[in-house]
Structure 1
Amino acid sequence: MNRAPSSVWRNPVHFLAFGLGSGAAPWAPGTVGTALAVVPYLLWLQQLPILTFSLIIAISFVVGVWLCEKTSQDLGVHDHSGIVWDEFVGYWLTMLMAPPGWQWALVGFILFRFFDVLKPWPVKWADRRVAGGFGIMFDDLLAGIYAWLVLQIIARLV
């Protein structure tokens, strides 16, 4: 069971790192965080031009490095299971250039969670070897790249 610190609800940095509080879910916080990341994608991000969406992903990654690093330091736990901002960014990367619609959002969700949990090389390597906020963000970025590639292949075959 995941125990979120009370600072998640008081500290805006922790609140963001915990995916707007979704990482405080008592079970499967990464899945819950990814599910919450679907909402802005469906409501807003999927409608943006590719360049704008790409810029949002890049900025979210850079900001996420700092958010995750600061929250990890404050909590004294590297990559606390409740830190799910990395899932937001990994999922959004998965959905870059995806066909519009909730069905594709669901396919992207499943693919991202699959690669984030499975952690094929080099995702597992990055998860274990790259430290700090960058490390927290980087392994999910790699999982997002795998999921993006598979989603693009599926979209072209359908």
Structure 2
Amino acid sequence: MGFGESVAVCFRHYATFRGRASRAEFWWFQLFGSLVWFATVLAASALWLAAFEGAARPTEDPAINPDSVSWGPLSAALGVLLLYALVIGVPTLAVSSRRLHDVGMSTWWLALLALGLGIVVLAIALVEGQRGANRFGPDPRIVRSVPAMS
């Protein structure tokens, strides 16, 4: 499974937390999410800086004088980050869940993310999946043949 196919599969299964995902599917989507995150941070940073560009004096504190901030660009910066969370964050959690299923583990292991232990989930994602079907579904590495249409 290549880069484009992995991204397409993850968006097709946008919020599907059932089933299994191969290592290739998981890691290619992680690369895609990282590239999009880089672009998102650049856009949000530019908007954030634009929000404070019109400050009357550099010593003016926005907490004291909220009129020194352009709220439009600031809101847009937060909107860009929220959009990333919805468009990329949800399928990232879903593919992570399916990857955990591939190694025979429950989705509850994603709770480690809330504890700041995401590196553990990434380490688990490196492990080869269980061969054959397991309680979460069929092996994602087995290519299902499609019967030829006559």
TM-score, scaled to structure 2? 0.37
Report the structure number with the largest CA radius of gyration. 2
Greater helix proportion: 1
TM-score, scaled to structure 1? 0.35
